[in-house]
């Protein structure tokens, strides 16, 4: 299994953070590894976003033992479905990714496109990924509305509408040869606890995002096992 993380600022993470990618890698190390399905994390990037430099140039992960090979990803600060659709085929082809873990959409709806346009880009993304690897599979996490949704009713409605369209696209586009899964939103998500600024995850948020992906992988495809939330 060659796993490619695809996401925006919530996935690339900032300097000094663990990231949910790290939490997911730890989970796969515990539940797969030598006793289960072998896996490798792949992708064209490996850095964190450095706010001081306003660029993805940091390697200062919170866990220095996080292996360089496991830091790989295709995620970017300020990048959404709109940005990833044109580059996903190249990343899948070059890195021979067969399992995509995709967490995108909030940045699209917040800054670039509405729900209908973003849903159309999802369909383009899937087609592009399959053009590089016809049997690629993917787990997609719905948008988690950020704190803006608390006071912006139109934005909240767009997030809700997009998630409906995303579920429809996943159901319609999934095939036996190239299955798509819609992960359940993180359980008991609380922006006050699970984010540090209303959007980006704290440690508890990172664990909840990783658990959402881990649950989908395990329940649908038997990959890994139950996620172990910290006490």
The 10s digit of each residue's pLDDT in 201-216 is 999 999 999 999 999 9
Residue 145: is its pLDDT beyond 70? Answer: yes
- Check whether 63 has a pLDDT greater than 70: yes
User: Which domains, and CATH codes, for the chain?
Assistant: 2-221 (3.40.50.1110)
In sequence order, which residues have a C-beta less than 8 Å from that of residue 126 and are 6 or more positions away? 138, 169, 173, 180
Q: Three-state secondary structure along the chain?
A: CEEEEEECHHHHCECCCCCHHHHHHHHHHHHCHHHCCCCEEECCECCEEECCCCEEEECCCCCCCCCHHHHCEEECCCCCHHHHCCCHHHHHHHHCCCEEEEECCHHHHHHHCCHHHHHHHHHHHHHHHHHHCCCCEEEECCCCCCHHHHCCHHHHHHHHHHHHHHHHHHHHHCCCCCCEEECCCCCCCCHHHHECCCCCECHHHHHHHHHHHHHHHHHHHCCCCCCCCCC
Give the sign of the dihedral formed by CA 36, CA 46, CA 215, CA 195: positive
147 has a pLDDT exceeding 70:
yes
What's the CA gap between 133 and 141, in Å, rounded? 21
61: pLDDT strictly greater than 90: yes
Phi-psi category of 159—alpha, beta or left, where left has phi over 0 and alpha has psi -120 to 50? alpha
Confidence band, pLDDT 50/70/90 cuts, at residue 223:
very high
Is pTM beyond 0.85? Reply is yes
Q: Output Rg (C-alpha) for the chain, integer angstroms.
A: 16
Taking the C-alpha atoms of residue 118 and residue 135, their distance in angstroms, rounded to an integer, is 24
Span 102-140, pLDDT tens digits? 999 999 999 999 999 999 999 999 999 999 999 999 999
User: Treating both helix axes as pointing N-terminal to C-terminal, what angle do 115-132 and 153-173 enclose, rounded to 10 degrees?
Assistant: 30
pLDDT of residue 215: 97
Average pLDDT score over residue span 67-72:
97
What average pLDDT does the segment 162-182 reach? Answer: 98
Distance CA 93, CA 116 (A): 28
Is residue 34 very low, low, confident or very high in pLDDT (cuts 50, 70, 90)?
Answer: low
Per-residue model confidence (pLDDT) at position 14 = 97
Give me the pLDDT at residue 187, please.
Answer: 84
pLDDT > 80? residue 221? yes
Examine the pLDDT at 36 and tell me if it is beyond 90: no
Q: Predicted confidence band at 37 (pLDDT cuts at 50, 70, 90)?
A: confident
Q: Name residues whose C-beta falls within 8 Å of residue 154's C-beta, 6 or more positions apart in sequence.
A: none
What pLDDT is stored for residue 17 in this prediction?
98
Confidence of residue 35 (pLDDT cuts 50, 70, 90): low
Instruction: Give the mean pLDDT of the chain.
Output: 96
Tens digits of per-residue pLDDT, 74-111? 999 999 999 999 999 999 999 999 999 999 999 999 99
Q: How do 55-58 and 48-50 pair as beta strands?
A: antiparallel
């Amino acid at each position: 299994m060659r796993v490619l993380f695809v996401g925006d600022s919530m996935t690339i993470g900032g300097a000094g953070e663990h990231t949910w990618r790290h939490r997911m890698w730890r989970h796969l190390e515990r539940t797969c590894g030598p006793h289960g399905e072998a896996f490798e994390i792949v992708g064209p990037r490996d850095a964190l976003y450095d706010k001081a430099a306003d660029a993805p140039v940091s390697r200062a992960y919170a866990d220095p033992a996080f292996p360089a090979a496991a830091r790989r990803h295709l995620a970017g600060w300020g990048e959404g479905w709109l940005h990833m659709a044109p580059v996903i085929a190249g990343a899948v082809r070059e890195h021979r990714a067969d399992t995509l873990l995709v967490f995108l959409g909030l940045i699209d709806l917040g800054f670039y496109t509405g729900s209908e346009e973003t849903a159309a880009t999802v369909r383009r993304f899937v087609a592009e990924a399959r053009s590089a690897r016809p049997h690629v599979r993917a787990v997609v996490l719905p948008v988690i509305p950020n704190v803006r949704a608390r006071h912006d009713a139109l934005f909240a409605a767009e997030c809700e509408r997009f998630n409906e369209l995303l579920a429809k696209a996943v159901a319609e586009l999934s095939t036996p040869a190239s299955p798509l899964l819609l992960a359940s939103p993180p359980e008991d998500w609380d922006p006050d606890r699970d984010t540090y600024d209303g959007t980006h995850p704290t440690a508890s948020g990172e664990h909840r995002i990783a658990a959402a992906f881990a649950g989908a992988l395990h329940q649908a495809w038997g990959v890994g096992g139950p996620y172990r939330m910290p006490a």
